[in-house]
Each structure stands twice: as C-alpha cells, then as structure tokens.
C-alpha cells in the first residue's frame, strides 16, 4: 500500500498538531517505517471481537486476529445485498497502529479517542512531551466517546510470577503497569506473595456507519490481562439472575479468563434481568456490560482496601500479639502511605464516571423510545437525576435516563471510598501518635539509665573527696595509717549521702507527698490541683502506704 493512502488517520493528526502540543508528540512518535520484528508485531497486533445485531438478534461473536481480516470485514457489501446490520459492536483488546488506522479511517473517528486510551498517568513531570492537558467540560459534552477509569486487583503467588507479569506488560501497546501495594501481612499472607493494583481504562465510541445504511456502530477499547496471577478472591461478583430449576440450561461463558473476555461474555448475555416483549435494538448493549463489570471490580477493590486497613487496626489494638520487641510501628505507617496515595485516585475515578461518563452514555446510548423494559432500581435509592449530592459536593446535574439501575451502585462506591479515606486519615493520626509515644518511652528509658549512672558516680564522690583531702600530705611514709582512716571516714560519709539522696528521691515520687503534686516551671514551684478528698482519707492512705513499704 502506498504512503499516500496508508495513513489516512495519521495525516489529520499531523496536520492539526501545530496547535496541540501533545498531538505534536503523538504524531511524531508514530513510526511510518518498521524494520524490526518487535516493531512489526506491535504495529500489526490485532485482537478484535465483532458482534452484529440483525433485528435485535445478536450474531455469533467473530474473532479477528489480523489487520487483513479486519479490513476484509469492514469492506462494504456488494451492491444489491440488503443485509446490513442495524447495530455493529467492536470490542478491541490493546491497540495497534493498524487497528487505529483501519477503524479510524472507516468510521471517521476522532483521533483523540485512541490517544486518550493509550496511557494513564496520575501526574506528569514538567518536561514530559506526552502530557495531555485536561479537556473543557463544554467540549466533552459534544464528543461521541467517553472513558471509564477503574482499578483492578490481581494476586500473584510469588515475586517471580509478579516479575513475569511486569515484563509481559512491557509488550503491550497501551501503557499499564501492575503496582505492588507493599501491604503483605506476614501473619496471614504467604511469604513471597504479591497483591498488585493496576489502573485500567475502558473507552467507548458510538457513531454511524455511512457505508452500511447509516447503522449504529459501537467500539469498546479494553485493556489486556496478564496470563500470570489470578483475580483476587478468584472472581468478582456475578450479577446475573439465578436461573430457575425449571428453566433449560444456558451456555454461559467461563469467568475470570481476562478483562477482555469477561466483557464479551457479559455482552453476549445482555439484557440480563428482563428481556423485552418486543424485539428492538438497544444501544445500551454498548455500555452496560463494561459499566457493570467495572462496578463489580470496584467492589472487590474496596473490600480489599478495607481488609488491609482492618489488619493495621488489629495491630494497633493488640501490639504485643502482632509486633515483636524489635518490630517498629513504622511499617504500619508505610503501609498506610500506600492507601493515602491510592484512595484519592479511587475517588477521582468514580467521580469522573458519575460526572462525565454516565451523562455521555445516556446521551449516546439511551433506552429505546418504545420499550417494555422494567429497570431494576435500588429500593433504598431516593436520588434525583438532576441533583445528586454527597457530603462534599454536587456529583450529578445531568439527565441519566436509562442508567438508573447502575447509578446507585456508583454512588454507594463513592460513599465507601470517602469512608475509607476518612479511616486512613484517622489511622495515620493514631499511628503517628503511637510512634511519638514509643519515642517518649524510649527517651524515658534512656533517662532511667542515665539516672543509674548518676547514682554510680555519686557513690564515688565521697571517696574522691576523702582521697583528695588525704593526698595533700606529700610524706608517703606518714600515710601508712591513712588507708584505715580513709575507709573509717569515707564509708560513713557515703552512707549519709546515699541516705539523704534516698530521702529526697522518696519524697519526690511518693503519691500524696509534696513532690507528687508539685512541679518546677521556669524556676518556680507550681502546685497542681489535687483530687477531691478529705485530709483524713489522705492521711490514712499515706500511713497505709508507708506501712506496706516498711514491711
């Protein structure tokens, strides 16, 4: 294929990149020639599932694994054949230049739809050329696509398996990385196990196919899944209704295969709760499977976060059981720092879904005008489509008609995440206080050791004084009796000094004594208010305490 016709999607990007800094980097970063096997593999990578709907009846999913097969599928039908589908759905795993070029040029898709799906950075360095500026809300309302962001959690048996998964993500075209949460609990987890979090994007475009009778087209971009590891707790919840014992068995695809296959399986079984009495096209087949899958995955992530925070609380509640003598509480604070960093990202993702993705989905994929659906709504949900308010801000101000079933779940997730954030902040304060208390105890112990050294030095003061007194005589021969007089005078003097010190120290710490309720503040005695009680009661208590000490 000639260079003039090969990159029909790349040319508009380059022509419009003059006023878009990130587009300039995107256009210059797309190679037009490839001469290494790895570049060839990345450019031609294709993993697409195609489902078409004729009169609201879904066809068998067709798997496409080569650019040639994808181009053949998108070729217009010969003239005279009127079998164009009313709905076309493309579910794409990962991205490649061939897939972007083929789908983008065929359906005239905004290049930003693909660009927004490539990476998922939380923040950028000041010199990053790929930094993408935030979009205006007024501009987002006119788009034909929206994005869904969420976290995925995956369990790895060993560090080696986690390392293999990390290496496998380097071969993806989209930028996703599993991140070790550093929260392994040695009392219950395997010594070498890893639980990793991964930021995930699902991007949905809905438009028209002008070459096939203006039929509706949906493109869903999903992230790959590593073959290493498994989903935490083996799987997310299954929201499909339990079939009756009298119903014939249905073929249900296996779960937990991959993020890509799970969304395909949920798409094949849609609608899940109640089939319409009249067969008609339902555009929500483009959006609901991904929304429900993401929401179910969020529930697992929130439960996992709650479990890790509960383990930290347990350590604080029973330190003698869960912390050895040499184990510092600093490890609990380090584990909390992971959630202090992650939970605000969780909240941002869910709010983005509620404030931007759902209104766009309701605009692009509404319910059919004449429908017999019964939308299941939570019995405890009392929200209004125009104003949904949390403790901090207004979340929704757009029409969400047709998505009332999933909105309460997302609102509940947002409330749960806000509760987790409050819990992390409270635990951080508690752990910090515990560290300060331990430092104070350590300092007090050191002060006790210094006091012992002081007493040891005090014992030798009389000996040093007497020896210095007798050393003034230079006649060594006359000092034959000095040693005897030294011990006769030094020992009683030492005993007198120790008795005085013991008496002073006893009065300073004995409860009820003068030293027990007084202090030194800027050189002056400050009397502390005593507890209520009669002088007789204090005298009786003091006498009993003295008798108990004297034996």
pLDDT in tens, 336-368: 889 999 999 999 999 999 999 999 999 998 877
What percent of the chain has pLDDT above 70? 70
| Claim: this prediction has a pTM higher than 0.95 | no
* Under 8 Å between Cβ of 148 and 274: no
Residue 432 has pLDDT above 70, yes or no: yes
Q: Which two tokens stand for residue 11?
A: 């040319």
The span from the CA of 486 to the CA of 160, in Å, is 75
* Under 8 Å between Cβ of 395 and 414: yes
Q: Is 179 left (phi over 0), alpha (psi -120 to 50) or beta?
A: beta
More confident residue, 288 or 431: 288
Residue 458 has pLDDT above 90, yes or no: no
Task: For residue 524, count other CB atoms closer than 10 A to its CB.
Answer: 7
More confident residue, 148 or 551: 148
Q: Which two tokens stand for residue 192?
A: 């070498």
pLDDT class for 78, splitting at 50, 70, 90? low
* Under 8 Å between Cβ of 315 and 333: no
Taking CA atoms, 329 is separated from 193, 311, 313, 337, 394, in Å, by: 22, 13, 12, 13, 39
Kindly state the DSSP code that residue 140 receives in the 8-state scheme: H
pLDDT of residue 383: 45
* Under 8 Å between Cβ of 284 and 272: no
Phi, psi (rounded to 5 degrees) for 359? -60, -40
pLDDT of residue 11: 59
Residue 33 has pLDDT above 60, yes or no: no
Instruction: Give CA angle at 420 (419, 421), nearest 5°.
Output: 90
* Under 8 Å between Cβ of 157 and 192: yes
Overall average pLDDT of the 230-257 stretch: 75
What's the mean pLDDT when you consider all of the chain?
A: 77
Overall average pLDDT of the 460-482 stretch: 66
Residue 328 has pLDDT above 80, yes or no: no
pLDDT of residue 434: 79
Alpha-carbon torsion (279, 281, 284, 288), positive or negative: positive
Q: Which two tokens stand for residue 19?
A: 């006023």
The span from the CA of 210 to the CA of 342, in Å, is 44
- Region of poorest pLDDT, from 19-33, 190-204, 424-438, 450-464: 19-33
Label residues 37-51 b or e (16+ Cβ within 10 Å = b): eeeeebbebbbbbbb
pLDDT of residue 1: 40
Q: Which two tokens stand for residue 68?
A: 């040639």
- Region of poorest pLDDT, from 402-416, 422-436, 517-531: 517-531
pLDDT class for 547, splitting at 50, 70, 90? low
The span from the CA of 199 to the CA of 346, in Å, is 10
Residue 527 has pLDDT above 90, yes or no: no
Phi, psi (rounded to 5 degrees) for 480? -65, -30
The span from the CA of 544 to the CA of 482, in Å, is 47
**Secondary structure (3-state) at 396:** strand
The span from the CA of 340 to the CA of 424, in Å, is 7
Cα 430 to the center of its chain, rounded Å = 21
Overall average pLDDT of the 417-436 stretch: 88
pLDDT of residue 274: 66
pLDDT of residue 388: 47
Q: Which two tokens stand for residue 338?
A: 């992971």
- The residue extents of the domains of the chain are 1-33, 34-75+83-124+136-240+253-435
More confident residue, 367 or 33: 367
Q: Which two tokens stand for residue 224?
A: 């790959």
* Under 8 Å between Cβ of 402 and 318: no
């Amino acid at each position: 294929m000639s260079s003039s016709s090969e990159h029909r999607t790349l040319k508009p990007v380059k022509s419009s990149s003059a006023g878009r800094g990130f587009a300039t980097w995107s256009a210059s970063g797309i190679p037009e020639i490839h001469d290494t096997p790895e570049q060839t593999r990345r450019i031609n990578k294709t993993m697409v599932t195609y489902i078409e709907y004729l009169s609201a009846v879904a066809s068998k999913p067709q798997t496409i694994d080569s650019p040639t097969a994808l181009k053949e599928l998108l070729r217009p039908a010969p003239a005279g054949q009127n079998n164009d589908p009313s709905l076309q759905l493309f579910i794409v795993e990962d991205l490649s230049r061939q897939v972007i070029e083929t789908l983008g040029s065929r359906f005239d898709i905004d290049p930003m739809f693909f660009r927004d799906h490539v990476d998922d950075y939380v923040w950028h360095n000041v010199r990053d050329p790929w930094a993408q500026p935030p979009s205006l809300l007024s501009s987002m309302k006119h788009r034909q696509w929206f994005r869904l962001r969420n976290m995925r959690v995956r369990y790895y048996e060993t560090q080696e398996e986690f390392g293999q998964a990390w290496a496998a993500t380097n071969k993806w075209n989209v930028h996703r990385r599993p991140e070790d949460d550093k929260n392994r609990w040695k009392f219950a987890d395997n010594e070498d196990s890893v639980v990793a979090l991964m930021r995930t994007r699902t991007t949905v475009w809905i438009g028209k196919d002008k070459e096939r009778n203006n039929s509706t087209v949906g493109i869903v971009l999903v992230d790959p899944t590593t073959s290493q590891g498994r989903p935490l707790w083996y799987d997310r919840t299954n929201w499909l209704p339990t079939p009756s014992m009298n119903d014939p068995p249905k073929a249900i695809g296996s779960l937990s295969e991959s993020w890509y296959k799970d969304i395909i399986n949920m798409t094949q079984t849609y609608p899940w709760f109640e089939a319409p009495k009249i067969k008609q096209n339902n555009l929500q087949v483009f959006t609901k499977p991904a929304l429900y899958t993401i929401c179910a995955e969020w529930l697992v992530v929130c439960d996992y976060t709650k479990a890790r925070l509960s383990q930290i609380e347990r350590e604080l509640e029973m330190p003698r059981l869960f912390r050895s003598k040499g184990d510092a509480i600093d490890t609990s604070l380090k584990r909390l720092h992971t959630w202090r960093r992650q939970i605000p990202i969780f909240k941002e993702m869910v709010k983005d879904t509620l404030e931007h993705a759902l209104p766009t989905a309701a605009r692009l994929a509404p319910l059919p005008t004449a429908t017999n659906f019964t939308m299941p709504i939570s019995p405890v949900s009392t929200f209004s489509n125009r104003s949904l308010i949390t403790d901090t801000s207004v979340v929704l101000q757009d029409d969400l008609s047709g998505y009332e079933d999933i909105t309460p779940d997302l609102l509940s997730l947002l409330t749960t995440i806000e509760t987790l954030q409050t819990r992390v902040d409270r635990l951080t304060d508690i752990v910090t206080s515990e560290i300060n208390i331990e430092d104070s105890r350590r300092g007090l112990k050191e002060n006790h050791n210094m006091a012992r050294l002081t007493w040891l030095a005090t014992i030798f003061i009389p000996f040093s004084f007497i020896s210095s007194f007798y050393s003034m005589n230079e006649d060594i021969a006359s000092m034959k009796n000095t040693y005897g007089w030294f011990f006769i005078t030094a020992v009683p003097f030492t005993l007198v000094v120790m008795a005085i010190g013991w008496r002073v120290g006893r009065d300073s710490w004995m409860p009820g004594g003068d030293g027990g309720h007084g202090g030194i503040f800027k050189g002056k005695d400050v009397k502390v208010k005593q507890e209520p009680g009669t002088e007789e009661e204090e005298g009786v208590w003091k006498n009993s305490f003295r008798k108990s000490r004297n034996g």
